Amino acid sequence: MRYVTTRPFATLALALALGLACAQVDAPVSVEAAWPSNACAAEADGPERDPSSDWRPRLLDQVGPTPPAQLFMPVEGARVAEVYPSYGDPRSGGRVHIGIDIMAERGTPVRPAAPGYVLRTTDSARGGISVTLVGDGGVRYFYTHFDALPEGLEAGRFVDLDTVIGYVGNTGNAAATAPHLHFEVHVPGQGEAWCGWTPVDPLPLLSDRQALGG
pLDDT in tens, 164-214: 999 999 999 899 999 999 999 999 876 666 778 889 999 999 999 987 764
**Domains of the chain: residue spans and CATH:** 31-212 (2.70.70.10)
Most confident of 10-19, 46-55, 145-154, 193-202: 145-154
User: Whole-model pTM above 0.85?
Assistant: no
Q: Does residue 212 contact residue 161 with C-beta atoms inside 8 Å?
A: yes
Residues listed for the chain: 214
Local structure of 128: helix, strand or coil: strand
Instruction: Tell me how crowded residue 97 is: count the other CB atoms within 10 A of its CB.
Output: 16
Q: Does residue 117 contact residue 159 with C-beta atoms inside 8 Å?
A: yes
pLDDT in tens, 86-95: 898 887 778 8
CA–CA distances in Å: residue 115 to residues 4, 39, 92, 120, 171:
62, 24, 32, 15, 24
